[in-house]
Amino acid sequence: MPAAAVSEPRALGSVPGSPFAAVLAGGESRRFGAPKALARVGGARVVDRVVEAARGAVGETVLVANRPEMFGGTGLRVRPDVVAGAGALGGVHAALRWAAEEGRTGALCVACDLPFLPSGLLRALVERGTAGDVDAVVPESTGRRGVEPLCAFYSVGCLAEAERMLEAGERRLVDLLARVRTARVPLDEVRRWGAPEIMFLNVNTPADHARAEEIARTGEADDGVS
C-alpha cells in the first residue's frame, strides 16, 4: 500500500479554485492512550472512515498530521502544523495556508476521530461556504459548544485572523468563528443527515470507542441522508 508522503508546497494557483478537504490528525491522543485515528470502528480505521466521507463531498482530500509516518496506506498528501502546539486552531491554520498556496478558496476541515460523518452534510457545508458571502460555515449540534468547529468549512479569508490569533497566543477555534463572517447550519437542518450525537461522536477515550463500535454493530448511524 502507498505510504503517506510529506508534500512540497505548490506554486500559488497551480490548482485553481476548488477547495479541498483537510483531515486534521495532529493531536496527541492522550485520553485515548494510543493514536485514536488508527483505532478501528466497524472493521475500518477511524481516519479511513473520515477520509471516505470527505472524499464523497470534495474532489481532493489531504491530511494535516505531525507524524506522517503513522498514516501509511491513506495515499494522501500530508503536511504538519505550521505552528507547533497550537491545537485545533493550528490544524485549521495549516490547512488554510496550504489551500492559499494552491490558489484554493478554502478547506473543509474535519477531525480525524469522527467515524460517522455523512458525506451529504459535508457537501452542504462546502456548497454554502463557496457561495462567497461568508468566511466559514459550521453545523450546529447538541454538544456543549452548540457548534462543531472541527467539522466546518473555512475560506482562505479566515487565514489572516487565524494568524493574528496564533501570534497573540490565542488557541480557541471557536474564537476564530466569532471573529469572521460565520454561517451556521441550523440544528433542525443538520438532523436531516442523522442524529447529531452520532454524527459528531468523536473517539477521544476508550469509552467513546466502545460506544462507536456499538453504533457500527447495531447500524444506528444508518438512518440519515448520505
Question: Residues 119-136: what's their mean pLDDT?
Answer: 95
- Does 14 score more than 60 pLDDT? no
Nearest by Cα to 199 from 49, 65, 55, 27: 49
More confident of the two residues 152 and 36? 152
The per-residue pLDDT for 32 is 57
pLDDT confidence of residue 8? 33
pTM score over 0.85:
yes
